[in-house]
Amino acid sequence: MADPATNPTPDPVTPNAAAPRIGAASASSGPAAPAQRGHTIHIADEFGTAKRNLPPAKVLVIAIAGVLIAFGITAFFERAKPQGGGSLDNVAAADLSGQNSVLVALTFTLRNTGKKSLWVHDVQGKVVTASGTMTGDAVSAIDFERYYQAFPALKENSLTALSPEDKLQPGEEIRRTIMVSFPVTLDAFNQRKSVSVVVQPYDQPVPITLMR
């Protein structure tokens, strides 16, 4: 009787042999895959630079010039102007003997050309002579009669006094007189370059000047 078949003896496992890794590419499996190519974003060129954030210099200069021109035109047409106008109609002067001064009666027309009421805050007279410019405050209206008695020439063509706190409605026109003393001789006053009434309204930056 034949001997039963013997099982083949398995090959011994070498302990130091490295088992092959599943999916590992073999050095001889073929050429390496080419590196992936795509668009490169240069962030430094896109953000945070005047070259990318600002318009061209020529456009910027033109825009700035346009803004400055518009601002200048607006400022020109909206600049402060007197709220009124009128004319200086009559000038009468009297010599204050021994004082090297004159007392002058100035009669004028005052008109409110604004859109709101004109309140008189202050009134002065101004004279320009060869010696320079001099100003004087208007004397009180209660003294008019006394001055008329002392210097009758002042009363000629004179009217009611203009006083502080007088009020003109929009479009209203009045004729008034003020008296002012100037520290000049009568001859120097008669040879003057100009004489003016200066009315300063409340809440107005520019006074109303009536010159002759």
Domain span holding position 96? 84-211
Structural domain count of the chain: 2
Residues 61 and 165 in one domain: no
Of 23-27, 105-109, 135-139, the one with minimum mean pLDDT is 23-27
22-80 pLDDT, tens digit per residue, is 444 444 455 555 555 555 555 555 555 555 566 677 776 777 777 767 655 544 444 56
What is the Cα–Cα distance from 6 to 164, expressed in whole angstroms? Answer: 142
Whether residue 190 lies inside any domain: the answer is: yes
Q: Has residue 175 been placed in a domain? A: yes
Name residue 204's amino acid: Q
Task: Select the more confidently predicted residue: 79 or 175.
Answer: 175
Average pLDDT over residues 173-184: 97
Q: How far apart are CA 77 and CA 55, in angstroms?
A: 32
Q: Which two tokens stand for residue 62?
A: 């033109």
Going by pLDDT thresholds of 50, 70 and 90, the confidence category of residue 192 is very high
Q: What confidence score (pLDDT) does residue 179 get?
A: 97
| Residue among 177, 198, 194, 196 nearest 124 (CA) | 198
CA triple 193-195-200, angle to 5 deg: 140
Domain boundary among 34, 59, 77: 77
Residue 61 inside a domain? The answer is yes
Amino acid at 16: N
Mean pLDDT of the chain: 80
- 72 and 161 inside one domain: no
Would you state the pLDDT for residue 77? 44
Residue 106 and residue 126 share a domain: yes
- 127 Cβ neighbours under 8 A, 6+ residues apart: 104, 133, 134, 135, 182, 184, 189, 192, 194, 195, 196
